Amino acid sequence: MVGTGPGPIDLMAQRAIDAIKKAQAVAGYRTYLDLISGLLAPGQEIIGSGMMQEVERCQKALELAEQGKYVALVCGGDPGIYAMAGLVFELARVNGTHPEIEIIPGISALNACAALLGAPLMHDFAAISLSDLLTPWKVIEKRLRLAAEADFVIALYNPASKRRQGHLKRARDIILEHRRPETPAGIVTGAFRQGQSIRLASLEGLTGDNHGVNMHSTVIIGNSRSFTWNGHMITPRGYEKKYSYWQS
């Protein structure tokens, strides 16, 4: 299982590149295969597929691995964060097979978006997906409420899709119960890819309709101490309390 990071080859680890080049078969969602097409060789079996076919794709990759093939299952970002790593283990368990599985981590959306926004994740944070395809919305709401109360920086995965337009606004409303309306928020769409967009907003302004938020976006909402400076979003770690020369 290979993490391809945000997109550009030069943000992938060499270990990930080597695994893809060495593979007899490469499986992955078509968007991610396109991003790494320069690494693929003519002799390789390619198992691409559209969205919503994750189970079939992982099952196919497992079957090939069980036949003794070296298979690279590629994931955008990191296979271990909201991606395919769990599904592969779950399927192997159901199948009753024990293929050798190695996970090569990648730079996930969290890391990529934080790097483009400034330094929003300097303190404790929570990652919450707003997709209710596999999780009841009630569970998502509860997590939003408690994360807001705990003053976590909050990274929202899957803030919107064509079918889910109102979730970001609903999340904003819940978080606003515990946090100032002017709390900084960052919206990154297509991080490190062509057409990348980086926007700063306030929590109050996250109504979802005016920031081009879509399925390629990640939203990061600051904690009670986050601030913006010079176009960057920053969460302080607490050094200013420790170092007297700070004020000098």
Contact criterion met (CB below 8 Å) for 153 and 120: yes
* Beta-carbon-side half-sphere exposure of residue 172 (alpha carbons within 13 Å): 23
- Binding of residue 244 to a second copy (CB under 8 A): no
Instruction: Enter the tokens of residue 86.
Output: 């769990």
What's the CA gap between 75 and 32, in Å, rounded? 7
Q: Of 41, 46, 51, 94, which one interacts with a second copy (CB under 8 A)?
A: 94
Query: In terms of CB distance, is 46 or 229 closer to a second copy?
Result: 229
3-class DSSP assignment, residue 32: helix
| Interacting residues with a second copy between 128 and 167 (CB under 8 A) | 128-129, 133-135, 139-140, 142-143, 146-147, 149-152
Q: Of 85, 171, 203, 213, which one interacts with a second copy (CB under 8 A)?
A: 85
What's the CA gap between 188 and 190, in Å, rounded? 7
- Binding of residue 177 to a second copy (CB under 8 A): no
Length of the chain in terms of residues written:
248
Total number of residues binding a second copy (CB under 8 A)? 82
- Binding of residue 86 to a second copy (CB under 8 A): yes
Contact criterion met (CB below 8 Å) for 154 and 126: yes
- Binding of residue 111 to a second copy (CB under 8 A): yes
Instruction: Enter the tokens of residue 4.
Output: 């391809």
Query: In terms of CB distance, is 194 or 243 closer to a second copy?
Result: 243
Beta bridge pairs of residue 27: 47, 73
| Interacting residues with a second copy between 23 and 62 (CB under 8 A) | 54-55
Query: In terms of CB distance, is 68 or 96 closer to a second copy?
Result: 96
- Binding of residue 66 to a second copy (CB under 8 A): no
- Binding of residue 71 to a second copy (CB under 8 A): no
Contact criterion met (CB below 8 Å) for 205 and 90: no
Q: Which stretch binds a second copy (CB under 8 A): 27-35, 42-50, 78-86, 182-190?
A: 78-86
